[in-house]
Chains A and B, each alone.
Chain A
Amino acid sequence: MLIFDHSHPGRTAAAQLPAASGSLDDLPAALKRKDAPALPEVSELDVVRHYTRLSQLNFSIDTQFYPLGSCTMKYNPRACNSLAMLPQFLARHPASPDETGQGFLASMFELQEMLKDVTGMAGVSMAPMAGAHGEFAGVAMIRAYHDARGDTARREIIVPDAAHGTNPATATMCGYTVKEIPTDATGSVDLAALKAAVGPHTAGLMLTNPSTLGVFEKTIADIQKIVHDAGGLLYYDGANLNAILGKVRPGDMGFDVIHMNLHKTFSTPHGGGGPGAGPVGVSTRLLPFMPIPLVLNENGFYRLATEADLPQSIGRMSANMGNAGVLMRAYIYARLLGGEGMHRVAEYATLNANYLMAKLREAGFDLAYPSRRASHEFIVTLKKLKDATGVSAMDFAKRLLDYGYHAPTTYFPMLVPECLLIEPTETESRETLDGFVAAMKAIKHEAETTPDLVKGAPYSLPVRRLDDVKAARELDLAYKPAA
């Protein structure tokens, strides 16, 4: 039932309406609306009950284990939400003078400094509002750097074939062409191919490390040298930062620019698809190009930097200061964890991943890269199972939902057939992981004995498998009541 089905003409949530109406008589009639917009006409209880009920149709971290590779679905501490929503913080207009927001700005400045330390970069800007937005800022800075040097022949961005789709899409948005390089049999960047790919047209390389294949690029020092020797810059996609938090710093690996996904590593909520936050960190040579605003500390007075402070900045990315409330949640999380807590994040995320990998291997599952350590995630390939039983990774994922587990990431990275990318995170207990292994074993047994059962899953959710083809062909993107 849609909210529109609850609607009755004339019904209102009366407590929410201003007491009186103001006159609009001074406005030109031609610019005024003739018919009121057909928004729902419902009571407050209708709204509360309808959306509470909708919430109950969702899987979430608070209700289920979410081993979703590359997404770092760890526990989102409640304090981060309640403290970021203190009424004075919520009431502050973003264009208020800096004097009225020293508490807020101090928190932002300290987060900025902590992110510099954690990543080993010379500067951090928290303007970007999501990972892909941070990628855009990063590649735009690479372009601004080359252009400022008159090095305008560099118009090519190199990405490994296993990269997130945002990497090539971002390069295109910055006016670059994309060159893909292959991955070798152990899941590492193919160094010979990289050497052959770089040259005077190379603007930079975008790399995720640990990679999307869940393994650490052991030859990062060589990769760094090849790209820098060719005059290119090195971009770090921070999607997998949780794997190395407090263990290795992208700055120490030689990266020039990095984005972080605070909704992963710093545990801000995913919110059913956002808002995220994608701060960028830069090496010294990119400092002048950082997006604004950043927070400056001038003898204990905090203020937002503007165009006047960074005349070479790539500019602004949002009307205000990015997703400020998300940044507040990340700051509170960082204060709860502290330095020691951050070191342990990567340790326990990696422990959980390697434990889960060992248990699944023991249960007869094939690993994509069996000779490698898992980072904070790893890949299982169901190719043999699919060949033998017809049960695909998608079927397997859907059946896991019936067992009460959110599915791992499926069909990404695309170069591993029938893959499940599994990331348990550090906040899950051994018992939860063991429960997941038991479900995986049970479904494997079902696939081998009653494959149609698995192919028809899920059965216990609000809907069964949906017709995506119909959804795309007979577009129904907004409710229209039958005439």
Chain B
Amino acid sequence: MPFIPHTEEDVSAMLGAIGAASIETLFDEIPPALKTGKLKDVPDGLPEMAVARLMQERASADGFWSNFIGAGVYEHHIPAAIWQITTRGEFYTAYTPYQAEASQGTLQLIYEYQTMMTRLTGLDVSNASLYDGASALAEAVLMAVRSHKTSRRVLVPKTVHPIYRRVVNTTVRNQGIELVELDYDAATGQTVLPADPGSFAGLVIPQPNFFGVLEDVHAMADWSHDKGALAIALVNPTTLAVLEAPGKWGGQNNQIVGADIAVGEGQPLGAPMASGGPYFGFMCCRQDFVRQMPGRVVGRTVDLDGKPGFTLTLQAREQHIRRSKATSNICTNQGLVVTAATQYMALLGPQGLAKVASNSHAGTVALAEKLTAIPGVTRAFANPFFHEVVLKLNDNAKDVLRALRAQGILGGLDISGWYPELGQAILVCVTETKTAADLDHYAQHLERILSKRREAPPCAYKS
């Protein structure tokens, strides 16, 4: 009974107060035939010391790697203060701030988070976060369709992360929404806007795109607005320290300046990679769309004495009030991770975030130069990239990555399965955590592996 404080005396006194003979009596409304016997697949409980030993063994088995995989999740330095404060019991074990007076800490923090996100994206409002980047994109697609009078089609470039596209599909397909894929240019890696798109409610604009390539976001936003559709920015928050804010995209040919909605994965802002989560999705939009926005929102107001305070607001959009007519069924945000992200943005500030971004970019450029100097390695696309680059190999990508792994290097993500037209291609990422020595280490091993495989190819190649 690890976390149950009752003594035998407590139990008998409490049963006496209830007027029940035994604890089992309290379950007398459950039909006896349904009652469970012993759980067969749950092992006996262990003391903390034994569980700690087990988990430490498993962690050691997983080990540490020199990681060059990005693809939506990025290895950035996380200041020590962040998770020490985030895991303080007052943040870690607090409930959703429905009782505003007892939750001013969490509420003010979310208000500060919302403010920081509007400043990063250049848009008017932010919600308190969604599950992750992919589900945030799905919610943005639903929002675009709600906001558009007639069309239920949304254009999604193939340069959007393939798994994001699948998540969007899972989320929207039962609502009669059509997702239309847009091709990319084989030379530049940028999205090609179709000549005759038909009517559509929104265009997703990834910046940088899945290949790491920078899209012409101004042209894309304007094109979408010209067609009477919403421009949905899918952005990486780190890069927004130095790349143009979605709120300022386009505006060259008409009145509307800026994307209408910006979403993305918040993980780069202080969340550890941790095999996939928890992270958070962010969503910002123009003021006009605030009532179409899903998820929790915190507002500043005053109390009975006129003192400023914070509270959840616009709850009339949400499931606990609107039930089947809610903007979404979502009834959570990723509060704890947002707690970390807010501190991350405050600690890094505009200068720090820009340095993280520019270092990551410069590191990726440097690594791409080193790797493409190796025979058999070329860049897939000519256009500028941010902190990821697609490299083509004249060898089997899976085998090469496995050989690198034997040296403790995770050399990138094999994207040949998702994009067979690219041949043997890997997506490689460098962040500010990598030193020049790390890049050299990778390049030396790749060169050795490729030349060895050329000189003594594996059996399958000999036939």
Contact = CB atoms under 8 A, between A and B. Distances in A.
A41 B350 contact: yes
B170 interface: yes
A176 B181 CA distance: 26
Interface string B403-447: 001000010010000000000000000001000000000000000
Contacts of B75: 91, 93
A273 B332 contact: yes
Given A60-B91, A246-B36, A430-B6, A116 B41 contact: yes
A13 B365 CA distance: 27
Q: Most A CB atoms within 10 A — which of B45, B93, B277, B290?
A: B93
Contacts of A325: 272, 274-275, 277-278
A373 interface: yes
A216 B322 CA distance: 27
B260 interface: no
Interface residues of A, number: 198
Interface stretch (B97-105, B150-158, B224-232, B373-381): B97-105
B385 to A, nearest CB: 9
A92 B101 contact: no
A95 B73 contact: yes
A319 B95 contact: no
Given A317-B167, A319-B72, A477 B347 contact: no
Contacts of A465: 101, 303-304
B346 A47 contact: yes
A373 B305 contact: no
Interface string A339-368: 111111101101110110011001000000
A272 B167 contact: no
A350 B27 contact: yes
Contacts of B72: 319
B184 interface: no
Interface in A18-71: 18, 20-24, 26-28, 30-34, 36-42, 44, 46-48, 50-52, 54-63, 66, 68, 71
Contacts of B349: 11-13, 39-42
B392 interface: no
A265 B228 CA distance: 47
Contacts of A171: 324
Contacts of A407: 99, 102
Contacts of B432: 18
B300 to A, nearest CB: 4
A101 B61 CA distance: 8
Contacts of A36: 241, 350-351, 354
B170 A316 contact: yes
Interface string B265-305: 10000001111111110000000001000001111111111
B94 interface: yes
A317 B135 contact: yes
Interface stretch (B126-134, B192-200, B453-461): B126-134
A18 B105 CA distance: 30
Interface residues of B, number: 199
Nearest to B430: A22
B1 A344 contact: yes
A427 B346 contact: no
Contacts of B347: 13, 16, 42, 44, 47
Given A334-B42, A427-B3, A272 B17 contact: no
B90 to A, nearest CB: 4
A117 B277 contact: no
Given A22-B359, A93-B75, A339-B43, A462 B101 contact: yes
Contacts of A315: 166-167, 169-170
Contacts of A439: none
A86 B60 CA distance: 9
B191 interface: no
A62 B89 contact: yes
B109 A355 contact: no
Contacts of A272: 91, 94-97, 103, 105-106, 109, 335-336, 339
A125 B399 CA distance: 31
Contacts of A102: 58, 61-62
A195 interface: no
B133 to A, nearest CB: 6
Contact of A478 (B114, B325, B384): B114
B58 A107 contact: yes
B186 interface: no
Contact of A273 (B45, B96, B319): B96
Contacts of A76: 92-93
A362 B18 CA distance: 10
B34 A323 contact: no
Contacts of B209: none
Interface string A155-173: 0000000001110111111
Interface stretch (A126-134, A226-234, A442-450): A126-134
Interface in B67-96: 67, 69, 71-73, 75, 77, 79, 81, 83, 85, 87-96
B67 A398 contact: no
10 contacts: A17-B348, A31-B218, A33-B241, A57-B103, A165-B322, A270-B96, A315-B170, A320-B279, A359-B17, A472-B314
Given A61-B89, A325-B275, A344-B4, 15 more contacts: A24-B242, A32-B242, A39-B119, A40-B346, A57-B108, A74-B3, A103-B59, A168-B323, A173-B171, A220-B34, A269-B93, A314-B170, A334-B42, A338-B43, A339-B42
> Which 5 A/B pairs are nearest by Cβ-Cβ distance?
A22-B362, A338-B45, A62-B89, A103-B58, A320-B276
